[in-house]
Amino acid sequence: MPESATAPTAGRTPLGTGDVLAGRGLLHSDAGGGPLTTLQVMRLLGSGPRGLTEGQAEERLVRYGENTPPAWQPVSWPRRFVGSLRDPFTSVLLCLGLVSAAVASWGTACVIMVLVVVSCVLRSGGEHQASRSMAALRELVATTASVQRRTDDAASPVVREVPVDQLAPGDVVRLGPGDLVPADVRLLRASGLTVHQAALTGESVPVPKYALDVPPDNDEATSEPPHLCFQGSSVASGSGTALVIATGADTRFAASYGGPARRRAETAFDRSVHGIAWTLIRFMLLTPPLVLMANAALRGRGLETLPFAVAVAVGLTPEMLPVIVTTALARGASALARTSGVIVKRLPALHDLGAIDVLCLDKTGTLTQDRPVVERSVDARGNDDPDVLRWAAVNSFWTLELAELPAPDTLDEAILDTAGEHGMDPVEYDGIAALPFDPSHRLATAVVRRPGQHGRHTLVVKGAVEDVLDRCGRVAADGSAAELDEAERGRLLDLAAKEAADGLRLLAVALAERPARLGSYGDKDVRGLTFLGFIALRDALTPTAADALDGLARRGVAVKVLTGDHPGTAARACRDLGLEPGEVLTAGQLGALSGPALAEAVGRATVVARCTAQDKARIVTALRESGHVTGFLGDGVNDLPALHAADVGICPRGAVAVAREGADVVLAEKDLAALDRAIAAGRHSSGNIAAYLRITLSSNLGNVIAMLAAGLLLPFLPMLPAQVLVQNLCFDAAQLAFAFDRPRPAAARKPSVLRPRDFLRYITAFGLLNAVADLATFAVLAVAVHTTAGAGDPAVFHAGWFTENLLTQAMVMLLLRTGRRAAEDRAIGPVHLAVTALAAIGVLLPLCPLGPTLGMTAPPPLYYALLSAVLTLYGLALTAARKRYAGGPN
């Protein structure tokens, strides 16, 4: 049962983020006269540069509610227990129990009710424990922000830390490196501010943000205006002061809770279970009328055969299935939580993990780390040149030192790390001044003095290729400098574009020599530069990604990378990891496709770039509707629609809270290796469930066919209802061992889907084989009865058939279990022990004092000799049929 979400009951904030993104309120004046200025926004919110007073903040908190997203309401254990009754097999068992009670078959009714209760307790208990684990994760979220408030209108503002949930519209907050943006805000001032928005947009590169007093008219067309920062993003570098414009349920972050209901469509487990359940229901509904009609027409029996007819229907039912399914999945989920830190919030999701044949994921944090590394440094001709790296390191070091930036940008860190590995020391140069990175100019400048040159200053400039080239008049090549004409400028831009298309991120490096001076340096001094070359960077690969991708390929899982990044960047990451990107598509190219056409196009590709949240969900839905079992791994707000659209939604522990709540499986880390282990665990659990279904349904079908035939051929009931019940209890108890079995390694090599049609063909073939063995036993009993004096009692027939049924079921459990080779069966496991106990009960129960109590008399010795021959032939037939079906359906 999914947890529910409820929105805060307080009123809306004056202007929500929806207004911002839709071009209303904070973007345009009511009169339609263009975008609102910063001053107009402050007036609209009743605030100012000094922020709110304490009284105003308290009043707004009462009016608009606390700054929290809709709260997830935990589902109680009793509600989960009741919800477990909606499982199709559990519902079938419940109905059979009621029917058994209606015909006064109290023993059968009690056994069935116990199985229903046990199944519901196991399932609800496992999901309740997973819910408690998720609640513990929620407590780990940081909850403070720096806000400036005043005690009254005349007082000066004081900056202090307050809980995030106490922010109100109109508050003025301070942002610094590493801070989470606590609400949706409009920047008032910013210095070198860049923010990580991967949780919202999937874009791995920090996005520059800067204050705009009057936003441009076309700003309403973009969802990422540069003067707005959204809750859920984090500050990568720089600092800023911002005005809170939306809190709580009105933020863009909280908008992910709204929209369409979050009820997931039918998953692979649902489809499989429902298909098998309805197949069994049809058989069960058909069986009792057939038994009654056949006995009435051929034997003149009336309603006295109704308990036997119900017992036959119960015999066809896999009574232990809810218990086996729940136990196998709960054991797998518990082992994953214990050994890998993986939380399975919804037990059937473990089966869906094992059935995945297409895994969709984002690039950042999964295939690549959220940081760049230097690939190479080249001169203007494209040749490797370590001097370019050395000057870039000088720029990064002294910009950081002299501009007093609180933390280095990830690009600067990568450059300094690589320079250090090559023994380059920027401290050899004396730092004079620095102009930090400016988002509007997209470059940073460091002014240094070379060793021994006291009368000269060197300007070292690093930044975006276009912006640096615009300030260059010469280009260094082959040890000399030449004029940078338009042709050369075009060639350099083409070279940069080619590298970018190959997935590299380029920074241009340039120098300028100036006479030493005492005055300060400004942007006007960054002119007449000499272009040196490029620094090429790529995303750092996740260390375990290559091996994990190889493991997923061996398991038959196709990986689809759905990312908001540049197509070349995503394709390069795939190639570096050994994953052939094939045809690289963009979401724009797929915009006109839907349904099967979309699934076919994505099926041919590995990478779909420039994806929005809606694009990801649309692609996942198309793949699922085309017959694939899909998994989606994501960690951001923009991943939530796809998490809901997939058969199984997966996220790491460090994902944003809304993604963790919407996922079915939570990984300890965003690591494909952990996901590979989870898929293997899902396939092991599904393999045990499939083995149980193969064996139980084929054996039960054979017994039902034999019972129907015997009821028509014999002048007495082939088995008493009490004997059917005891036989089912023994077989059911033995089959519980499947939940604890150790599947063969091959069980995890391909997706495990419980396909109803495959099961129907399989159980029909082996059910008929089982029925032939039962009919052969009739012949054996007939020979034994007619050649042994005093053996004509029906109780002898009952005992003989009881023994044969349990022995054949024991053989089926052993031989059809998983198709293991003999070498793999040497270790004694739970199934071996259960088979031994079942066989012992089948042989000894009719011979012990309990036999007569159940209406059974010991068969003659000749019967056991003939039965041995029948069982030997049956075992050979099972082995031959098993090879033909290669282990049965998954």
Buried b (16+ CB within 10 A) or exposed e, 210-242: bbbeebeeebbeeeebbbbbbbbbbbbbbbbbb
- Give the 3-state secondary structure of residue 510: strand
**Dihedral sign, Cα of residue 249, residue 250, residue 255, residue 260:** positive
Contact (Cβ atoms closer than 8 angstroms) between residue 172 and residue 157? yes
Distance of CA 602 to the CA centre of its chain: 19
How far apart (Å, rounded) are the C-alpha atoms in residues 148 and 150? 7
Beta strands in 497-653 (DSSP E): 505-515, 529-541, 558-562, 585-586, 607-609, 630-633, 648-652
With vertex at residue 72, the alpha carbon angle to CA 66 and CA 76, rounded to the nearest 5 degrees, is 135
Question: Where would I find the beta strands (DSSP E) of 332-413?
Answer: 343-344, 358-361, 368-379
d(CA 867, CA 792): 18
Tell me which H or E stretch contains 161. strand 158-163
Radius of gyration, CA atoms only, the chain: 36
With CA atoms as reference, report the closest residue to 386 among 424, 441, 435, 438.
424
Dihedral sign, Cα of residue 422, residue 542, residue 641, residue 551: positive
What's the one-letter identity of residue 581? P
3-state SS assignment for residue 359: strand
- Which amino acid is residue 591, in one-letter code? G
**Angle, alpha carbons 478-480-486 (nearest 5°):** 90
Q: Which strand (E) or helix (H) includes residue 671?
A: none
**What are the residues facing 536 on neighbouring strands?**
376, 506
CA-angle at 774, arms to 317 and 881, nearest 5°: 80
Q: Residue 739: helix, strand or coil by DSSP? A: helix
| Residue 362 annotated among the catalytic residues of the structure | yes
Bridge partners (DSSP) of residue 559 are: 359
AA letter at 765: A
Enter the DSSP assignment of 48: -
Whether the CB-CB separation of 460 and 395 falls below 8 Å is answered with yes
Q: How far apart are CA 44 and CA 170, in angstroms?
A: 9
Name the E strands within 443-557.
443-449, 456-463, 472-477, 480-483, 505-515, 529-541
Spot the catalytic one: 362, 409, 635, 639: 362
Q: What are phi and psi of 143, to 5 degrees?
A: -145, 45
Long-range contacts of residues 660-664, Cβ cutoff 8 Å, at least 24 apart: 660/134, 660/137, 660/138, 661/3, 661/5, 661/72, 661/134, 662/262, 663/345, 664/344, 664/345, 664/346, 664/349, 664/352
DSSP assignment of 257-295 equals GSSS--PPPP-HHHHHHHHHHHHHHHHHHHHHHHHHHHH
Q: Do the Cβ atoms of 806 and 838 come closer than 8 Å? A: yes
Q: Say if residues 574 and 561 touch (Cβ distance below 8 Å).
A: yes
Catalytic positions, please? 362
